[in-house]
Structure 1
Amino acid sequence: MKHYLSLIFCLLSTLALLTSCRKEREEKAVDRMDQYTTTKAYPSKFTDESLEKWKQQVPEIQKISIKSTLDGKEQPALFYTSETTGKRPLLVMLHSWSSEYLQIKSIPFALWSKEYDWAFIHPNYRGKFDNPEAVASDLAIQDIVDAVNYAKQHADIDTSRIYILGSSGGAMTALVAAGRHPEIWAGVVAWVPVFDLVDWYAFSQYYPHRDYNRHVVAACGGEPLPGTAAAAECMRRSPVTYIHNAKDVPIFLAHGTNDVLVPPDHSIRGYNLLANPADTIAQKDIDYILKEQAIPEGMEGATNRDKYFGAKDPKVVFERESANVRLVLFVGVHDMAYNPGLLWLNEQQKKMPPAAPPVAGH
């Protein structure tokens, strides 16, 4: 018995020694990643996936499995945290519509997390958006919440600095997650998001060669035509249904004026629902932007710069901030720039409720 107690004591002492030797995390000033500009410029296709590529770039990345608290299924994800001690931000990065959690174009976000000692998680949230379990379903949103909780269990997360970022379908899901769980997020970045699935389905009818409408039909149980159950299901998965719940969450919306995959009015509609009424964008100006792929002359907010966009980033032609939402329109197509969203997120921190006073006598 004494032998076992001595062994336990030895193990505990060794663990304590190892813990005491770990370096404390240090907050440091962030800077641009000049080697990365946009996802269009990144050397891979949008749908390219490879664990080997991830391991080459971020050797410390872990492939993990998270059990869904909704249906019990194991869901894969990629996770990174360092060996330092102390609280750190968490970046939840969401893959886009036609990819899964091994999407190569997300690697720069993990590299940023490694450079600045953030935790990083890249959940699968039911994979490609071609089935009923995906496309911002209840299961997919819960997978994201479960991913946050996994990170909190395996790293010392600063709960005032939990961020979510995505583009296209990932941006759509990030906005749904913001509206359904606003209590979690300190900042949300949505590049070229689908804001309204029913509206986007109607728009995409002009492009029958694309697979997206077939995916929407598969996910929502039919064509989302007016008055149908499929239309109701699509609305249940759309940010427009929930975004009003996220008025207290800082949200960054960015869209290319030349985007013919998801038109920029999707981001503008999101902005209008979150902004103060006096700051909303008039329908006539939205119509002009859609038709001319440019900003109306003299429109308030027209600009040729934005403090988060650098010389290598797409040219900004409009930016407006109101309440907790920031809208940026840039000259470009269906794309995402790496640096602006990360630089903006780094400045966001949620106001935490004050700690409860100690109970008398304790």
Structure 2
Amino acid sequence: MKATLPDGVIEITFVSSGDGGSEPALFYHPGGTGPVPLVVGLHTWSYDRYNQLEGMLPLCRERGWALLLPEFRGPNLVTNRRARQTAGSALAVRDILDGVEAVAKRYPIDRGNLFLLGGSGGGMAALLAAAAAPELWKGVSSWVPITDLAAWHGENQEYAPHIEACCGGAPGASDEVDREYRERSAINMAEQLSRVNLSLHHGRFDPLVSWRHSRRLIGEMERVGAERFFFEIFDGEHDIRYPVAFGWFEGLRKNDNNQGGRLTG
């Protein structure tokens, strides 16, 4: 049974440009005719579009911003019948971008102020969606992300079966499987991410995803000369601190020197 939605939040569907299917999302718009900023919130590894409502909706209401919570193929779990399409697949990333385009066409959205926020598996997806369309986003805030799926497979045995269900096998099973791992890992996308306003955060005591995932990605970004990122190792665990992310978004919104852009790829 679907959860009861808070006032003003609606279920929407849009057509996937990847496979033509109808994909669901949750959407909130504060009303009015003038364009408003849009926050795209991405669910964590094991959950669906409902799991970021509590953390993100109140902060959007306070600011008069819109909120989009896409499903992007659902939980990254063995139990998901579409597991191969989850965990940063090309279809999942396309769903995030298609969802933005769908609501921007139907509602008054300020395309110059599109913000992307996710933690854990959602932090991973945020990096992949940022790399897929770096000119689209005014700012991308990623918390405690998995940046290298093959490495995480070896580090976390509890999640290894789910990773294999998503990627088609364990690392090294075949060239095709290894390609899936590479294409779903932001560690290989430093060049694209160097063109994004990126805020990356990781808890020093994270028991699920080592902070080294973020540090290694930052090392790659520094190698390619990236200058538009902020990196924090905070005193915490596997957490996402919503007020910090929204405060950073507010600061970017006041900066007229970077106006966001269009869908690419």
Fold-level match, TM-score > 0.5? yes
1:220–1:195 distance in 2 versus 1, CA, 3 Å: same
Aligned equivalent of 2:34? 86
Counterpart code for 2:248: W
Aligned equivalent of 2:235? 331
Partners of 1:70 and 1:220 in 2: how far apart? Answer: 18
Partners of 1:160 and 1:196 in 2: how far apart? Answer: 30
Aligned ranges 1:1-362 → 2 under 5 Å: 51-52=3-4, 54-55=5-6, 59-103=7-51, 105-130=52-77, 131-204=83-156, 208=157, 210=158, 212-225=159-172, 228-275=175-222, 323-349=227-253, 351-352=258-259
Counterpart code for 2:151: D
Asked whether the 8 Å contact 1:180–1:242 carries over to 2, the reply is no
Asked whether the 8 Å contact 1:119–1:155 carries over to 2, the reply is no
Asked whether the 8 Å contact 1:63–1:79 carries over to 2, the reply is yes
Asked whether the 8 Å contact 1:178–1:249 carries over to 2, the reply is yes
Q: Which moved more, 1:214-223 or 1:266-275?
A: 266-275
Partners of 1:95 and 1:352 in 2: how far apart? Answer: 26
Instruction: State the secondary structure of the residue aligned to 1:267.
Output: helix
Partners of 1:100 and 1:226 in 2: how far apart? Answer: 29
Q: Which runs of 5+ in 2 are unaligned?
A: 78-82, 261-265
1:241 Cα offset (Å)? 2.0
Q: Which moved more, 1:164-173 or 1:106-115?
A: 106-115
Asked whether the 8 Å contact 1:171–1:191 carries over to 2, the reply is yes
1:101 Cα offset (Å)? 0.6
Give the RMSD, CA atoms, in angstroms.
2.1
Deviation string 1:187-224 (CA, Å, 9 cap, x unpaired) is: 000100000101111112xxx3x1x2111111111111
Asked whether the 8 Å contact 1:93–1:109 carries over to 2, the reply is yes
1:329 Cα offset (Å)? 0.9
Asked whether the 8 Å contact 2:190–2:224 carries over to 1, the reply is no
Deviation string 1:250-272 (CA, Å, 9 cap, x unpaired) is: 11111111112100011112222
Instruction: State the secondary structure of the residue aligned to 2:8.
Output: coil
Instruction: State the secondary structure of the residue aligned to 1:248.
Output: coil
Partners of 1:276 and 1:157 in 2: how far apart? Answer: 36
Instruction: State the secondary structure of the residue aligned to 2:128.
Output: helix
Asked whether the 8 Å contact 1:222–1:230 carries over to 2, the reply is yes
- Number of residue pairs matched? 253
Partners of 2:174 and 2:252 in 1: how far apart? Answer: 40
Deviation string 1:31-81 (CA, Å, 9 cap, x unpaired) is: xxxxxxxxxxxxxxxxxx9622x42xxx00001111212111111110011
Deviation string 1:79-119 (CA, Å, 9 cap, x unpaired) is: 0112212121110000000000111x432311211221111
**Larger Cα-atom Rg:** 1
Asked whether the 8 Å contact 1:167–1:336 carries over to 2, the reply is yes
What is the TM-score of this pair, normalised by structure 1?
0.66
1:276 Cα offset (Å)? 6.8
Partners of 2:74 and 2:194 in 1: how far apart? Answer: 28
Q: Which runs of 5+ in 1 are unaligned?
A: 1-48, 279-321, 354-362
Partners of 1:277 and 1:134 in 2: how far apart? Answer: 29
Counterpart code for 1:250: N
Aligned equivalent of 1:298? none
Asked whether the 8 Å contact 1:95–1:106 carries over to 2, the reply is no
Instruction: State the secondary structure of the residue aligned to 1:148.
Output: helix
Deviation string 1:254-304 (CA, Å, 9 cap, x unpaired) is: 1111112100011112222223779xxxxxxxxxxxxxxxxxxxxxxxxxx
Asked whether the 8 Å contact 1:180–1:245 carries over to 2, the reply is yes
